[in-house]
Chains A and B, each alone.
Chain A
Amino acid sequence: MIPYIIRRIIHLIPTFIGATLLAFIISQLVPGDFLNAMRLSPDVRPETIARLEQSFGLDRPWYTQYFLWMGSLLKFDLGQSFGGNQPVSAVITKPILNSLILVVISLIMLYAIAIPLGVFSAVRQYSFADQVISAISYFGLAIPNFFFAQVLILCIFLFRGFTREYFDHNQLLLPVAQMTSSNYNELSSLAKFKDILWHALMPAFVVATSGIAGLTRILRGQMIEQLSSDYIRTARSKGLDERKINYKHALRIAIIPFVATIGALLPGLIGGAGLVEIVVSWPGITPTLLQALTAQDIYVVLGFLVISTLLLMLGNLISDLLLAVVDPRIRYN
């Protein structure tokens, strides 16, 4: 096992270099650079642009820029953002943590909702409830997250109109934007925690919905397969409790394919929650990355890329190892 892990880690090095080199080349293929916006200004002096090009190193050939960047990367320095004289690590840390909050909450929601639903659907196969769950699942699978978030925001506003008319209560049910309330600083730590949770509820649910659909469907299929197998019939004939059969025997086997995907969750955790973050103004990875992409602040973009490449490689390794733990047929030598 240990030599296998070491071998895998050694293999990661060329992969990592290849990935970053490719990303760097692609970022250089895009026409223009960070100073483009400035070049389109009627009154910025050409001297200003020349001075900034030099200080950002944009006047050097791309391979020189790459080696300089790689050199600093080996010292665990992700480089400097062009905007505001900040190190890239400072620019990307906060968004990564903020996205993590949203993604973790949505993952909890995802498993808490999808696993019972999947089991239920399998046990009550073809019942009316199963069909309703299927229909809702397909709906969740089909609707784009950013659109669903907007629909929910609209519902929250409509609900306010409704409650005002009938209950004389002019408050929004849930916050529609941002991660904290405006009085966040005056709150106690517990209230701060609750405040963020309160703001995360709607976007996290939106992110979870697309996953719920897929997970429920796959788990249902797996469970149905297990429930019709011989060992379940044996267990039933021994007179075992139905709940024990479902959760202790069938589910444990049915869940194995999901373990293999846990490794893929790791980069997903910092991949951010996607466009939902923009719709509800969650200060996460997606808005920061998009801003960096449009401004061509390349080292910020590459910073995110380095982190997610590392996590992807690590995640793959972990899920391979986990698979060996849960499935006795797999051995690494």
Chain B
Amino acid sequence: MRKVLLGIAVLALISVGLAQPFVWPNAWIADSEGVQMGGTFRDYEVSEVRTFNPFVTAESTGVSNLAFQGASLLTRGPDSDEWLPYAAKSFTISDDGLVVDVVLRDGLVWSDGTPITVQDYFFTYQAETDADVGSNSYDSWFIGEDQITLEITGDNSLRFTFPKSDRTALGVVALTPWPDHVLGEIYRSGAAEALIAAWGTEANLAEFVGSGPFIPSEYRAGERVLFVKNPTYGQWNVDEAGNALPYMDGYNFAVVESADAALNLYLAGEIDSFSPRNLDDIGVINVAVQNGDIAATVLENISPVASSQFITFNWNKASNPFLQTTFRNVDFRRAMSYLTDREAMVDLVYGGSASPAYSSVYAVMDYWINPDVAKYDYDPEAAAALLRDIGFTSKNSDGILVDAEGNALKFILATNAGNSQREQIAQIFADSAREIGVDVEVQPIEFSVLVDQLLSEGDDRPYDAILIGLTGGNRDYPFGSNVIPCGTNLHMFNTSGSCIAVEEQLMTKLYYQGRQSLDTPTARDIGFQIQKVEAELQPIVYTVSPAAHYSWLNSVGGAHPDGLINSIVGSREIPLTYLKQ
């Protein structure tokens, strides 16, 4: 008996030895020297937690990102946008980009100790592509009308087949599995309805089985969510020294109703990190640090946030032919771009913690930004000259520019009421415009009304110009699929359904061309061309991007090295975060 046991132990050791865990590089953290084990991280969450069901969740919050993190086939480090094999041992993309073959890593385990197999991935694929389940990932499995398929090709190999080559679709290969022996059973016995009903916020979290570093253990509505270390995660996730990950024993979220309340908790020393929204928050934290209330690190102006703010002019204004013609005139829009005093906006609105923006690509995605595009920096004289060229040669008794027919150059710039930064940006624009005789009336209106106007379609839409922002998007190809091509719903300046300017046609063509290319440098070259055309056409005048800031207590270690922190990858990887005792 003893010999048998010994034999089993030896076999187990060999299999552990054979199983190659994923090694988290030291280069991803700034201070890999002082790593310590144990402790519970205290984070916060401003939005309400709605579900622990991976097929129901529809949002990206701190809690959902941690709960639904797991043995995804691919992953990305903070240092590059390239996909790395993670739960996959390796993956190969066919030359035509239509087939991706994946070999599973050995030794993958669920939090309950059951091995993770190809069947788990296949069940997840089945559930995600079931329209009755209605998973948030459902649509990512389609390119146009055609579905991406997944098949099991061996004991530990999977094959993804794409209907056509598409770099934005590669993300589906980074599939995170859910346990076939738990959720798969529920799905097979009770179909989609039973699967959706599982693992809600009312459910017993002891039933939760996952593959991420931490597993949710308790949820108190509106108060906190507690996570405990997944004991099996370290079997296939180690650091370079061979330590099992994650370092910490637990991860808690305090659910708060506003960022102000979170700041108060941070100042009280009750949470370990806080993302300052602006210089006011940073000022408060700095004072607390000086007074000795908390010992904290503050990183100011780390990178631009991953969002854009811009002015869009309405090209579909059949009821006002004068404004329609003016807004469709490229020289008018270039003049408006010249009138956008981005430096003043950075200084006056954000106290210097922002940067000028010139492209639909968020400034933080510097790899994708074409530096050599027309910029139209603040130059009121150039603006006045352009307006003169298009016929605004004289001024009326109010000092407003008029054309030969006597039409005065005036329009309404709407923005969302209550967003004081946007109201100020709009006012700065209006003030510079007024100086050369363009009458811009700033009109703050209710956000839902504004969005309604922006998303309206057809030849006669209700607004003149709108100042608004977009957020979200794609790291593989940061050009909005709903923004760039004509006829899409966020092609905001022209929603008539078809292209008006030839440049729009060109941009649409380039967009799809780049999206097809799986070779990143090629896609980037095409992206550069899109930005060049966009900058010349100025269909949308980009203004400024505020900066992202970070802060954490000095008892927290394992942040990214300074150069790697930005608003896309954040300040740390949770498995590599540790607490100094």
* Residues of A in contact with B (beta carbons under 8 Å apart): 30-32, 36, 39-48, 51-52, 55, 83-86, 90, 94-95, 98, 153, 157, 160-161, 164, 170, 172, 175-180, 182, 184-185, 277-284, 287-288, 291, 296
Contacts and interface: CB of A to CB of B under 8 A. Distances in A.
Given A43-B473, A278-B258, A287 B490 contact: no
Given A31-B452, A39-B451, A47-B142, A283 B255 contact: yes
Contacts of B268: 157, 172, 175-177
Interface size for chain B: under 10, 10 to 19, 20 to 34, or 35 or more residues? 35 or more
Nearest to B255: A283
A153 B202 contact: no
Contacts of A291: 47-48
B220 interface: yes
A30 B448 contact: yes
B514 to A, nearest CB: 14
A185 B222 CA distance: 15
B257 A43 contact: no
Contact of A177 (B47, B264, B480): B264
B482 A83 contact: no
Nearest to B472: A41
Interface string B431-469: 000000000000000001101100100000000000000
A4 B452 CA distance: 49
A151 to B, nearest CB: 13
Nearest to A33: B448
Interface in B167-205: 168, 196, 200-202
A27 to B, nearest CB: 12
A31 B53 contact: no
23 contacts: A30-B448, A31-B448, A31-B449, A32-B448, A36-B448, A43-B481, A45-B481, A46-B482, A48-B138, A48-B139, A51-B131, A84-B200, A86-B50, A86-B201, A90-B202, A98-B222, A170-B293, A179-B223, A180-B223, A182-B252, A281-B256, A283-B223, A287-B258
Given A84-B50, A161-B291, A177-B265, A182 B448 contact: no
B254 interface: yes
Given A42-B472, A94-B221, A83 B261 contact: no
Given A44-B472, A48-B139, A279-B260, 20 more contacts: A31-B448, A39-B490, A41-B473, A42-B490, A83-B48, A83-B59, A84-B201, A86-B200, A177-B262, A177-B265, A178-B254, A178-B256, A178-B265, A180-B220, A180-B224, A279-B261, A281-B255, A281-B257, A281-B261, A282-B257
A86 B482 contact: no
Given A32-B451, A153-B264, A278 B257 contact: yes
B482 A41 contact: yes
B357 interface: no
A-B residue pairs, 8 tightest by C-beta: A283-B222, A84-B50, A42-B480, A281-B261, A31-B452, A287-B257, A32-B448, A84-B51
Given A30-B448, A86-B200, A176 B480 contact: no
Interface string B240-264: 0000000000001011111011101
A85 B138 contact: no
A205 B53 CA distance: 39
Interface in B536-559: none
Contacts of A280: 261
B473 A42 contact: yes
A287 B132 CA distance: 32
B127 interface: no
Nearest to B40: A182
B452 A32 contact: yes
Given A84-B200, A86-B200, A185 B260 contact: no
B473 to A, nearest CB: 5
Contacts of A42: 470, 472-474, 480-483, 490
B395 interface: no
Contacts of B47: 291
Nearest to A290: B257
A95 B139 contact: no
A46 B489 CA distance: 8
A51 B134 contact: yes
B473 A281 contact: no
A43 B481 CA distance: 5
A88 to B, nearest CB: 13
B448 A47 contact: no
B489 A39 contact: yes
Given A176-B268, A179-B223, A83 B489 contact: no
B134 A43 contact: no
B324 interface: no
Interface in B213-227: 218, 220-224, 226
B563 interface: no
A177 B200 CA distance: 26
Contact of A296 (B134, B270, B448): B448
Contact of A283 (B221, B265, B452, B473): B221
Contacts of A30: 448
A283 B470 contact: no
The listed residue with most A CB atoms (<10 A of its CB), out of B131, B226, B257, is B257
B532 interface: no
B452 to A, nearest CB: 4
Contacts of A170: 293
Nearest to B197: A85
Contact of A44 (B53, B134, B265, B482): B482
B425 interface: no
Contacts of B488: 46
B451 A85 contact: no
Nearest to A278: B257
B164 interface: no
B58 interface: yes
Contacts of A86: 50-51, 200-202
A207 to B, nearest CB: 16
Contacts of B58: 83-84
A55 B196 CA distance: 13
Contacts of B265: 176-178
A83 B293 CA distance: 39
A202 to B, nearest CB: 12
The listed residue with most B CB atoms (<10 A of its CB), out of A161, A182, A184, is A182
Contacts of A45: 139, 142, 481
B56 A178 contact: no
B34 interface: no
A43 B448 contact: no
B154 interface: no
Nearest to A164: B292
Nearest to A32: B448
B267 interface: yes
Contacts of B490: 39-40, 42
A175 B449 CA distance: 39
A277 B257 contact: yes
Contact of A178 (B51, B168, B261): B261
Contact of B293 (A43, A46, A161): A161
Contacts of A84: 50-51, 56-58, 200-201
B42 interface: yes
A166 to B, nearest CB: 14
A183 B455 CA distance: 47
Interface in B157-171: 168
Nearest to B294: A170
A283 B223 CA distance: 7
Interface string B29-73: 000000000000010000110110100111100000000000000
A7 B521 CA distance: 78
A276 to B, nearest CB: 11
Contact of B470 (A40, A55, A277, A278): A40
A43 B472 contact: yes
